[in-house]
Amino acid sequence: MSKKVFLSGIQPSGKPHIGNYFGMMKQLLGQPEDYEVYVLIVDYHAMKSVRDSKEMKENIIAVVLDYLALGLDPNKVTFFKQSDVSEHTELCWIFDTITTMPYLMRAHAFKDAEAKNKEIDVGTFNYPMLMAADILLYGPDIIPVGADQKQHIEIARDTALKFNNTYGETFKLPEAMIMKEVAIIPGTDGQKMSKSYNNTIPLFAEYEEIKKAVMSIVTDSRGGVPQNVFAIHKLFRNENELNKIYAEKAGKYKELKELLVEDLEKFIAPLREKRKEFAKDIPKALAILKAGGEKAKKVASAKMDEVREKIGVSVY
């Protein structure tokens, strides 16, 4: 029986936060040894928000160190960046030709940007097509993601079906894996935790940074329980235990926040230390990413040969 394939990506658009970790990274890295896993740094996607080359480079290096500190084993996982495998953008174009504009106009990210009267660049509009290519090139079975990405996985499935119906069976239809309890991790303001909302608790935060973020959590209280604090806290402690603590300390927001700071520190401190070790040898960390790109390129290039054959441009 062929191995089950897992795949997911993260944008190097800022510091990964605990929402990224619990919503996606933990699921992706927690797969049994006999599963095939692809971990992507989707740098071309991040161009939507990162327009400074120095920042882009730093962000890419940071994500590499983050994943290594989280225990990613490059012997078991194909770890690479999107821009090292040009087949992603090539396949994106092919998908563009079979997808209609009204269909992409139904994407939430586009609708949100439109509702906010933002000037929408073509890359943002087309984002789901590049993401479909990122996924479908590797034939994954499962895509672990947070709830915000559900629609994008559906678009990838629709695109695979459309291509298969037009040119013959080529792409496997992937399934999204969204864990209910961590589907939307709230940020310090109660909205979805998101790099672009400035409401995050960074996954590798220093103690002072954790403290500052937790103390800024907006306390919307019902029955003396600060809901936003509780929602984040339950990622780190058993819920029954927490219910007891929050009942005992009803209304004592400062104490509850201090406890959350301590629990976060317990979780983050060992990760932070590991990350500092990897940061001592950045060329070694980047060599892992480069080797992963070469491995991914072989898979992607074989798939593209098949695609070119199917669409009829392979004439030699």
Told to check if 24 binds ligand AQP by CB under 6 A, we report yes
Question: 28-52: b or e for each residue (b if 16 or more CB lie within 10 Å)?
Answer: bbebeeeebbbbbbbbbbbbbebee
Told to check if 174 binds ligand AQP by CB under 6 A, we report no
Among 7, 10, 107, 214, binds ligand AQP (CB under 6 A): 10
Told to check if 128 binds ligand AQP by CB under 6 A, we report no
Phi, psi values for residue 31, rounded to 5°? -80, 145
Structure tokens at 7: 């795949």
Q: Give how many residues touch ligand AQP by CB under 6 A.
A: 21
Which residue is at the shortest CB distance from ligand AQP?
A: 23
- The least distance separating ligand AQP from the CB of residue 45, rounded to whole angstroms, comes to 7
The rounded distance, in Å, linking the Cα atoms of 249 and 261 is 16
Among 86, 97, 165, 196, binds ligand AQP (CB under 6 A): 196
Phi, psi values for residue 306, rounded to 5°? -65, -45
- Nearer Cβ to ligand AQP (135/185): 185
Question: Kind of pairing, strands 142-144 and 175-177?
Answer: parallel
Phi, psi values for residue 187, rounded to 5°? -90, -175
Stretch that binds ligand AQP, among 77-85, 90-98, 179-187, 277-285 (CB under 6 A): 179-187
Among 49, 166, 243, 314, binds ligand AQP (CB under 6 A): 49
228 touches 253 (CB < 8 A): no
Told to check if 13 binds ligand AQP by CB under 6 A, we report yes
Structure tokens at 216: 């800024």
| Footprint of ligand AQP (CB under 6 A) | 8, 10-11, 13, 19-20, 23-24, 49, 145-146, 148-149, 182, 184-185, 192-196
